[in-house]
Amino acid sequence: MWWDSHIENLEVIDGKGCKLKLSDGKWYYDMTSGATCVNLGHGRKELLEKISNITFFNSYFHHNKFFTEYRKKLVDRINAYLNNEFYGKEDIVLVSAGNEAVDVAVRIARKVTGRKKIVSTYTSYHGRSLSATSLTKLPFSNGIADRSNTLFFKYPKDEKEVSSSISELEEHLKSKEAAACILEPFQGEGGITPAPKGFLEKVRELCDRYGVLLIFDEIQSGFGRCGHLFYFLRPGVKPDILCIGKGMANGVPASGVICRKGLLEDKRKFSHELFATSFGGNPFSMVAALWVLEELSDEFLKEVREKSRYFSERLKELLSFSCVKDVRGIEGGIVFGVELKNGELAEKAVKLSLSEGLLLPPPKGAEGTVLKISPPLIITYEEIDDIMERLKRVLTRLEEKSPCSGFFGS
């Protein structure tokens, strides 16, 4: 286990803003935003009030074949945010979890194209269901995944790697066996790797050339995490299918799939059973998601981008530590990676962070060397400064306990 026995035996007893109170009586910064699900912070009473005021809860809760006013309002609101000429209200499927959204996206791609293969990247992450694990080669999926229908290529780390990555992708698409190419606009579990300039545009071009659908998995990057409602709105590369979730309802289970207009037009290919879900579109989740969209105003997202620039500059100060190899992040977003020189150092840093009141997730990347920094978007400048002082103390103690020269290498 990444966290020592002290943390394993604790429970969360309270949450407020960017912090969680555990049963040891101490408050900790949630550096993961609840696995990127609680973008707008913990303990938001406004959200609880919205959910509590669902008008027909006492007489009717949910049925997966009949839609409610709350679902209709959410679909209308999402459609208004997107380009109405490209995405249609009839082409939104609501489910409960991110890996469920990925499963639905893959089903749609296979039905539309009549092909079975899916192209993904070695270090991608699309969930932990059996089908989602087949789309990655990250270590956690080994021994579980059936990758017989997946073709892999490398996600480029920088602009220098784009050309070779695109060439590898084209070799897969030439076979005309692929139904879709699924991508994260930035890789989270893969090591906090943003898409290099021009990469997404070239992928879109190849998919169009070979008749392959392009799926963007924005389950982590959506709903403000990247400084915009969705990452794809920045470069303007439109996917055929968009997977959304995590921060969509600020901790209430909600996810979905948005298709380009007309993709689901041939109803003969689809049936209710293809999209059937027990709790997708339930009133609790819809009301929570509507509240999130209300909060994610243009002004709020502008503030996120401003805080991103400040946080990014502060994190670069960590490059003065000999154990730090790189600091990177998503421009305009509040998600950063502090890459240490090896996985052993990263594991120790996660454990040391606990004593400094920081709850960090397990190290990210194929080699487990990257510390992921993704606190809630409501973080203040004062809290950023506080976190920075704590991170510096962690790295100072790390270098005292485990010198980055000698045994650990350079």
Please name the residues in contact with 353: beta carbons below 8 A apart, sequence gap of 6 or more: 31, 359, 360, 390, 391, 394
Q: Which residue has the tokens 């194209």?
A: 113
> Taking the domains of the chain in order of start, what are their residue ranges?
5-30+297-408, 51-295
CB count, 10 Å around CB of 224? Answer: 25
**How confident is the model at residue 3, as a pLDDT?**
44
Q: What are the tens digits of pLDDT across the range 197-207?
A: 999 999 999 99
Q: What is the CATH number of domain 5-30+297-408?
A: 3.90.1150.10
Please report, in tens digits, the pLDDT of each residue of the chain (410 residues total): 344 444 567 789 999 999 999 998 999 999 999 999 999 999 999 998 888 877 655 445 555 555 678 888 998 888 888 876 677 777 888 999 999 999 999 999 999 999 999 999 999 989 888 888 889 988 888 888 888 899 999 999 999 999 999 999 999 999 999 999 999 998 988 889 999 999 999 999 999 999 999 999 999 999 999 999 999 888 779 999 999 999 999 999 999 999 988 888 765 566 666 777 878 888 889 999 999 999 999 999 999 999 999 999 999 999 999 999 999 999 999 999 999 999 999 999 999 999 999 999 999 998 999 999 999 999 999 999 999 999 999 999 999 876 654 433 33
**How confident is the model at residue 261, as a pLDDT?**
86
Instruction: Let me know: does 246 contact 36? Beta carbons within 8 Å.
Output: yes
Domain 51-295 has CATH 3.40.640.10: yes
**How confident is the model at residue 53, as a pLDDT?**
79
Instruction: Let me know: does 190 contact 226? Beta carbons within 8 Å.
Output: no
**How confident is the model at residue 264, as a pLDDT?**
81
How far lies 303's CA from each of 34, 334, 386, 405, in Å?
21, 11, 19, 40
d(CA 257, CA 240): 10
* Exposure on the CB side of residue 280, measured as CA atoms within 13 A: 22
* Exposure on the CB side of residue 286, measured as CA atoms within 13 A: 22
**How confident is the model at residue 60, as a pLDDT?**
52
DSSP type of residue 360: P
**How confident is the model at residue 4, as a pLDDT?**
47
5-30+297-408 with 51-295: one CATH topology? no
**C-alpha torsion angle, residues 196, 201, 205, 206 (rounded to 10):** 20
* Cα–chain center distance at 186: 8
Nearest residue to 120 via CA among 181, 165, 205, 166? 181
Query: H/E element holding 292?
Result: helix 283-295
d(CA 152, CA 124): 10
SS3 130: helix
